[in-house]
Amino acid sequence: MILENDVIPILKELIKFRTVNPPGKTIEAIKYVAKMFENLDIKCKIQEYIEGHANLIAEYGEGAESVILCGHMDVVPAGDESKWSYPPFSGEEHGGKIYGRGSTDMKGAIASFIAVIKYLKQQNVKLNGKIKLLITSDEEIGMEGAKVSLKAGEMENCNFILIGEPTELKIAKAQKGVLWIKIKITGESAHGSTPHLGVNSIEAATELIPKMKETVPDLNHHLLGKSTLNIGQIKGGTAPNVVPEYCEFTLDYRIIPNVNRETIKESIKNIINDFNENNKSQAEMEIMHNTPSIDMTQESRFLDLLKRRAEKDNYGSIFGVTFGTDGAILVPENNTAFAIFGPGRLDKLHVTDEYTLKEEVVLYSNIILDTILKHDK
C-alpha cells in the first residue's frame, strides 16, 4: 500500500520547479525524477528535444507489452502571484489541500505514477508485463513532447495508456478534438474622416463572424454532447481615425469523434469564397492547430479492472472530457486503448489558488497500484 509519505513529498517538490509554459523549460524537474529512479536502479532515460525541454521515460518489468502511465510536466503561467493565498511555487499544504501551480494539472498524477513505480521496485514485485512512465513537456503549447516520444517509438507494444489528467477520479473514455482556425481579412486604409475612400476590414469581420456559427455540425456524442465553437480573439486596426486595412479573428472548435472535420473546413471555405465574390474586402483561412478527437470503444481488461477498483471507493463513473490531452497525439496511430483518469478538481484547472486534495492523490496512487497488480495476474 502506498502511504501519504510515499507520494505527497514528491508532489510538493515537483510544484517547486517553475515548469511554466512559456517558456516551457522542464529539464530540472525531469532530472529530479530521473535521479530518484537512478538511485533505485530503475531504468530511465531523458529525451531533451529542445534545450531545456525534455521528456522522461522510465520502465519497470521485463515483459514485451507495456501499460503506459502518462503525464505532462509543464504548467500554465501563475498570473498575478500576489493574488494567490500561498506562493504558487511553494507546494504548501493547508487543510488537507496541496496548493500551487500544477498541483491539479497535473503534478499530482505524476507524483502518484512515480510513487507506484518506486513501490514496485522496492517491493521487488515480479511483473509479466512492463509498466512505463512517460512524462512529457510542452503539452500546454503544441504537445511537442508527445510528438517526440511517438516518433521515438515509445508507443510500440503498448496495450493501454493511462493519461493522468485531472478528472475528479472519474474515467474519461472520450475526448474532443481541437481545431483552431484564423480568418484573415484585408481591406484598404483611408482617413477616418473619409471612410468611403477605404475598405473597412473590421466591418467585414462583423459580417463573417455570425456565419461561422453555421459551420458547427448538429451531431451528438453520448459522452461528449455536441461540437462547439468559440470565437476567442479578434484583432484589427491601428487608430480610431484610420480605416482598418487588416483584421483577423480566431475560431476554436472542439469536435466530437463522429464529426468529419473536413466538412467544417469545407463549410468555412464556401463562406469565404462567397464573401470574396461579393465584397471589396478579401478573406482567407489559416489552420493554426489541429488534433483529433479520441474515443475508447474497444474492450480493455485494464480499463475494466481500473473501473472496478475505483468503484470500491465510489469513484470511476464514465464521462468524456472537452479539453485536450497528450492522448490526441499518442492514441490514434495504433488506436491504443486508453483512459483519462486522475486526481484533481476540474474547476481548479488553470486558476488562481490551484490546489489538489492530499487524500485524493494518495487514493489515486493506490487505485493505480492495485489495478496494475490485478492486471498482471
Chain Cα centroid distance, residue 213 = 25
Catalytic residue among 6, 59, 74, 165: 74
Q: What angle do CA 237, 280, 180 make, to 5 degrees?
A: 60
Give the CA angle between residues 23, 113, 297 to the nearest 5°: 95
By DSSP bridging, strand 97-99 and strand 43-50 are unpaired
Catalytic residue among 59, 138, 139, 360: 139
139 has catalytic annotation: yes
Whole-angstrom distance between the N-terminal and C-terminal Cα of the chain? 17
Residue ranges of alpha helices (H) inside the chain are: 4-16, 27-39, 108-122, 144-151, 201-212, 261-278, 301-311, 327-330, 358-375
- For the record, the C-alpha cell of 96 comes out as 488537507
- Identify the three-state secondary structure at position 247: strand
Q: CA 231, 255, 368 angle in degrees (round to 5)?
A: 120
Query: In whole angstroms, how far apart are CA 276 and each of 184, 234, 285?
Result: 12, 19, 12
**Distance (Å) of CA 114 to CA 65, 79, 117:** 20, 28, 5
Other beta carbons within 10 angstroms of residue 273's beta carbon come to 11
- What are the cell numbers at 17? 520547479
Other Cβ atoms closer than 10 A to 160: 21
Residue 247 contacts residue 204 (beta carbons within 8 Å): yes
262 classed as catalytic: no
The torsion of the CA quartet 158, 160, 162, 168, rounded to 10 degrees, works out to 180
Handedness of CA 360, 136, 50, 79 (dihedral sign): negative
CB atoms within 10 A of CB 87: 16
Any idea which residues carry the catalytic annotation? 74, 139
